[in-house]
Amino acid sequence: VLKRRDVVIVWLAGASLVLALLTVFAIELSNTQAKSRRDVTARVHERAVLAAALIDSLLQTVQEQTPQLAQLYGTAKVTAATLNAHRDRNEYLVLLDARGNVLAASQGFTAQARANLARSAALRLVLARRTYGLGNLLPYGRTSAVDFAVAFPTPHGKRILLTGFGPQALGPFLQGDLRKIPGVKGAHNYVIDGNDTVLASTNPAAGSGFRFPAPARAALARSSGERRGHYYEQVGLANSTWRIVLAEPDGPLFASVSGFRKWVPWAIFAAFATVALVALALGRRAMRASAEVRDANARLGQMNDELASANAALEHRARELSRSNAELEQFASIASHDLQEPLRKVRTFTDQVVQAESEQLSPKGRDYLERAAGAAERMQALIEDLLKYSRVGTHGRSFAPVNMTELTRGVLEDLESSVERSGASVHVGELPTVDADAPQMRQLMQNLVSNALKFRRPDVEPEIVIEGHADDGTATIKVVDNGIGFDPQYSGRIFRVFERLHSRAEYPGTGIGLALCRKIAERHGGAVVAESMPGEGSTFTVILPLHHRDGIDPGTARDAPRGVRHEPFVPA
């Protein structure tokens, strides 16, 4: 069995483990999501780089034309006619020397175009020793033009051919390439110049010549980022101010890590966390409950111990009591036995004095002597009764079946003279046979019958009915008289030793008879109860178990017959 502290430690360890796992899981999950996001943006960047490289490689082919250019424009003097001849659909052609001075120009090279030279990015790139350069959209007439510069060596030094052309010429070529760039649905690809003006795009709403508004231009200052639900990535094209911009809507782009999908793993995580926390809470409750059970058990154990010690104390007291009872009985028996001898002597001598010396005595002296003799006689009766009482427990015999009818008839024979003297009519019914100590049963019945005879009404002939029945393992015997009766409030007291309700002058006796009856009945595991009303007779009911296993002395028998309540037995 785990101790409470161990259980708490185990629970805390479990809780920490669960929390640690949850934390690690959460970190891992958010890392994974961040990583997938990074992967996606890296792929967009790759696309942009590839697209830029593709366009770059197309433009590189221009370099292959340098020998041809050197042949065309390498002569000492180049005329406008030559340039005009090769102008094609371009707005203008202009030939410059290595320092950027105009050597010759074709038709269409307007004053505006000449002024544009000063801010031509294409020219600047070539002057900075690039083999070619692409510039921004420049104002040209009612529209605009892009310029493209190529440097080539001639016998007369390096020369530069600057071609100005309308952006619409670029459109089909660039758009074709832009369309080839893969992307999610709703993605738009742009080629923009150094001024954030669109040269070509796959977005019909922002075609060639479209200039991004200021906030978008501010965003384009960064190579990548997010704006209005779109992720964008830009890569510059070599030898130009141009850039490729790929813009893809966040939703489809980050589908795996945004919106609903982003929250799915988190929802699962939350579910796990909830389950784990609930489990922990349940664990805690179970722990508390088991702690309570343990506490209750401990309390119960404690109570058990207390009960056991109380029982032990009780048993000890019971043993003490029965020991002191036995000692008391022994003492009473010895005392009464030893008292008998001197008493007998007192009686013998008083009798002798009365018989031999009575003439010499004064009437007063004779009266005293007679009273002394009477007292001695009463004392002897008392001692004999006490001796009987004290011997109920110690001198008892083992039990054997006793026919109570026969026994009662015997008792009545013994009492024949008093029955006759009182003129009583006695009826004895059919009484049960019980396992009992016959002499004690005899004492019991004798006491009850003699009481019924003794406490008769002076003017009423005594009628005594003795009847009984047996049922449910119990014998019930009633002795009913029509005598003087007594106040029912004394129906308990009369069973105590020396308790009498009537004066000795009226009704002689020692007051031990009923105490003896009770003691005998109790030794048999039974009881005696009295019911009466003054002037209406009395009923004494003896209740006895019919059978005793093994015929042993049941003086300690615990189960009194059912329905019988009697005072606890405390011997005098």
Rounded to whole angstroms, how far apart are CA atoms 165 and 178? 20
Q: Which residues contact 327 (CB under 8 A, 6 or more apart)?
A: none
**In the 8-state DSSP scheme, what is residue 361?**
S
**Quick one: which of 197, 440, 447, 476 contacts ligand ATP (CB under 6 A)?**
447
Residue 484: name its binding partner from Mg ion, ligand ATP, none (Cβ under 5 to 8 Å by kind).
Answer: ligand ATP
Taking the complex as a whole, the smallest distance from the CB of residue 509 to Mg ion amounts, in Å, to 5
- Least separation in angstroms between residue 509's CB and ligand ATP is 2
Task: For residue 109, state whether it binds ligand ATP (rule: CB under 6 A).
Answer: no
Q: For residue 435, which of 399, 396, 407, 398 has the smallest C-alpha distance? A: 399
Q: What angle do CA 180, 185, 187 make, to 5 degrees?
A: 65
Measured CA to CA in angstroms, residue 78 lies from 75, 81, 160, 161 at distances of: 6, 8, 12, 12
Distance in angstroms (rounded) separating the CA atoms of residues 194 and 92: 22
Min CB(367)–ligand ATP separation in Å: 26
**Shortest distance, CB of residue 508 to ligand ATP, whole angstroms?**
7
Instruction: Render the burial of 101-137: b for 16+ CB within 10 Å, e for the rest.
Output: eebbbbebbbeebeebbeebbbbbbbbeebebbbbbb
By beta carbon distance, the residue nearest Mg ion is 513
Place of tokens 């890569």: 235
443 scored as a contact of ligand ATP (CB under 6 A): no
Site map 470..509 versus ligand ATP, x via CB under 6 A: -----------x-xxxx-------x----xxxx------x
Site residues for ligand ATP, 510-549, by CB under 6 A, read 510-515, 538
Neighbouring C-beta atoms of residue 314, cutoff 10 Å: 10
CA-closest candidate to residue 174, choices 245, 118, 110, 125: 245
Q: Taking a C-beta distance cutoff of 8 angstroms, is the pair 134, 239 a contact?
A: yes
Count of residues of this chain found to bind ligand ATP when the rule CB under 6 A is applied: 23
**Minimum CB separation from ligand ATP for residue 548, in Å?**
26
Site residues (CB under 6 A) for ligand ATP, limited to 370-429: 385
Q: Which DSSP letter does residue 551 get?
A: G
Q: Which amino acid is at 513?
A: G
Q: Which is nearer to ligand ATP, 7 or 530 (CB)?
A: 530
The entry of Mg ion, ligand ATP, none near residue 531 (CB within 5 to 8 angstroms by kind) is none
Under the binding rule (CB under 6 A), the answer on residue 147 touching ligand ATP is no
**385 touches which of ligand ATP, Mg ion, none (CB within 5 to 8 A by kind)?**
ligand ATP
Within 13-52, the residues that bind ligand ATP by CB under 6 A are: none
Out of ligand ATP, Mg ion, none, what residue 455 binds, judged by CB under 5 to 8 A for its kind, is: ligand ATP
Give min distance, CB of 440 to ligand ATP, in A.
15
Residues that bind Mg ion (CB under 5 A): 451, 513
| CA gap 554, 545 in Å, rounded | 10
Give 70 or 465: the residue with its C-beta nearer to ligand ATP.
Answer: 465
CB 466 within 8 A of CB 427: yes
Between 164 and 571, CB nearer to ligand ATP: 571
Return the range that interacts with ligand ATP (CB under 6 A); candidates 102-110, 290-298, 304-312, 447-455.
447-455
Chain contacts with ligand ATP (rule: CB under 6 A): 385, 447, 451-452, 455, 481, 483-486, 494, 499-502, 509-515, 538
